[in-house]
Amino acid sequence: MDNSLMIETRNLTKTFGDFTAVDGINLSVQKGTIHGFVGPNGAGKTTTMKMLIGAIWCSQGEGYIKGYGIGSIPAKQIIGYSPEHAFFYNDMVASDYLVYMARICGMKRSETRKRALELLDWLDIGGFSERKIGGFSAGMKQRLSLAQALIHEPELLILDEPTANMDPTGRLSILDKLRQLSRERKATIFLSSHILSELEQVVDFMTMIDKGRIVVEGKMAELRKRFSGNHFLLKTSHNETILAAIKDKGLFRESWIDNEDFIHMISDNTTALRKEVVETVVRTGAELEHFSEERASLQDIYRKTMRMEEEG
């Protein structure tokens, strides 16, 4: 067992009759990282998360949370979980609910109320601490769901669509708080989201899942590079001249100039191309305005991966 891993699964599988929802996934989530878990609807994200928290049992395989078997009490002590759609005891007031959850997590009664109020404040719903949960909006319930996940200061947060039901301001605020938790408390965060543009702002690692199988995984920086497709962007004062000069060397397989006067070059020989660009610019005396390697966004990675999956 790898001590650097917070979540580790081996051949984790879940079947419902003939349908395989999760198909033998081997998940590795490093301690202290923010790990994105993405995939289309029905890919098996929520089922995987529910197996990790011990709400449902795996049909095959095994999983560990910091070395403890998934579903065990020590594993649950480490986890804070927030589902996509959280349901609460609507007749309870928010602070009482958090106190109850904190005590279930083993916190001392004397510490719980202070902690509950602090958390509600931190999540910007402090003004509603004595209100019944039944009267909360969907966004407030989402924040309360995060609060109950955080109440016992868990080492691992498993968050299923934590920004669902929130407006853009709320979503950004929650993502900021997740970054803060990772930075200040070194918490490991394993989260799913459909809003990839927001997710990519916070995640260090990413696992993409489709039809119950992992299709892509790795460090975000490496994935960005891997999926960039050796795509370079160049802008100079003499685009046509430069492009013609480089073209003669046969260093790229595809090129075009876009509406904003950027030269796009797809190359298989990136080192030679970089060198040639610099030399050509110097030789022609053109003014260099921009030269970069295009980095793939999470959306690009997702789109390409799903296209490859469809094409088999």
Partner 1 sequence: MGFHAVQEKTATVMGKAIIVMEKTIRELMSLRRLAVAIIAGLIPSVFFGTVIWRESFRSGVMSLEMQTHTLVGYFLLISFMWIGGFYIAYMIIVSGMDFVSKEEEGGTLLLMVSKPISRFQFILGKSLALLLTTLLIELVVLFGSIVVFWALLELDPEIVRALLGLLPWIFLYSVVVAILFDALTIAISALFKGQVLKTALSMLLVMLVFGVGSILRTVWPSTYENYHLYYIDPSYHLGNAYVSTTVQAESGRMTPQIQAYLGIFTGTYKAGMEETMLAMFTGSSASFDPDIRAMPPSLERTDYLTPLLSVLLCLAVSAAALGATKVAMDRKEVY
Binding site for partner 1 (CB under 8 A): 50, 53-57, 73-74, 76-77, 79, 81, 83, 85-89, 91, 100-101, 103-106, 145, 148
Closest approach of Cβ 213 to partner 1, in Å?
Answer: 21
Closest approach of Cβ 105 to partner 1, in Å?
Answer: 6
Closest approach of Cβ 103 to partner 1, in Å?
Answer: 5
Q: Which is nearer to partner 1, 188 or 267 (CB)?
A: 188
Closest approach of Cβ 266 to partner 1, in Å?
Answer: 46
Write the DSSP assignment of 19-87 as a string of letters. Answer: EEEEEEE--EEETT-EEEEE--TTSSHHHHHHHHHTSS--SEEEEEETTEETTSHHHHHHEEEE-SS--
Q: Which is nearer to partner 1, 53 or 189 (CB)?
A: 53
Candidates 137, 139, 141, 158; CA nearest to 94 is 141
Residue listed under structure tokens 């997702």: 302
Write the DSSP assignment of 144-175 as a string of letters. Answer: HHHHHHHTT--SEEEEESTTTT--HHHHHHHH
Output DSSP code: residue 287.
Answer: P
Closest approach of Cβ 68 to partner 1, in Å?
Answer: 11
Q: Which is nearer to partner 1, 27 or 78 (CB)?
A: 78
Output DSSP code: residue 137.
Answer: -
Q: Which is nearer to partner 1, 45 or 231 (CB)?
A: 45
Q: How far is CA 25 from the centre of its chain?
A: 17
Q: Which is nearer to partner 1, 76 or 213 (CB)?
A: 76
- The dihedrals phi and psi of 299, each to the nearest 5 degrees, come to -65, -40
Bridge partners (DSSP) listed for residue 22 = 14
Closest approach of Cβ 107 to partner 1, in Å?
Answer: 10
Task: Determine contact, residues 77/153, Cβ cutoff 8 Å.
Answer: no
Closest approach of Cβ 106 to partner 1, in Å?
Answer: 6
Query: What does the block give as tokens for 45?
Result: 């994200």
Q: Which is nearer to partner 1, 162 or 196 (CB)?
A: 162
Query: What does the block give as tokens for 250?
Result: 């046969």
Closest approach of Cβ 82 to partner 1, in Å?
Answer: 8
Task: Determine contact, residues 88/97, Cβ cutoff 8 Å.
Answer: yes
Q: Which is nearer to partner 1, 65 or 181 (CB)?
A: 65
Reduced to 3 states (helix: H, G, I; strand: E, B; else coil), residue 8 is: strand
Candidates 178, 198, 180; CA nearest to 190 is 178
Q: Which is nearer to partner 1, 32 or 71 (CB)?
A: 71
